[in-house]
Amino acid sequence: MIERIVTARVYDFLKKPRPGGSSAVLCDRLWPRGVAKAALEGVPWKKEWAPSRELREAFHAGKVPFGTFQSRYRGELEEMRTTILRDLEALRLPDPEAPMVLELLSASSDLDHSHLPTLRDYVAELLSPRPTP
């Protein structure tokens, strides 16, 4: 079970040891500059979890304010709900009851104003138990 979801810069992730009980996912549309693919061996690259090219480019060009970016990105995530749930299931450790930390990775220099907080919150909502009516 995923106990905690954290965000991290991919460059910082590569500098620290990888503890057991954690899983990381690279969530950028583009591969991070200067990072060899071998350095992230075993880390799935889920570029489809990242914002669409059009949304990312509009945000970086300043054509879309951050709040609008978050809202539109959340809509994109909702369209991929089934895919994201399937991908999350594939990340499970051999013991599905063991607590796990999920690290969402990006090359963004400002994680707080990137897509990762929206993705983290969305994944947390997907994984939270739903009340029964």
The ranges assigned to domains in the chain are 2-127
Rounded (10°) angle between helices 66-79 and 116-127: 40
pLDDT of residue 128: 84
- Taking the chain (133 residues) in runs of 10, the rounded mean pLDDT of each run is 89 85 90 96 94 96 96 97 91 69 94 96 87 56
Tokens representing 31?
A: 């591969």
Tokens representing 123?
A: 């994944």
pTM: 0.89
Alpha-carbon span 68 to 36, nearest angstrom: 33
Q: Are 19 and 4 in contact (CB under 8 A)?
A: no
pLDDT of residue 94: 58
- Give the torsion sign (CA, 91, 76, 105, 128): negative
Interior/surface letters 6-23, b for 16+ CB within 10 angstroms, e for the rest:
ebbbbeebbeeeeeeebb
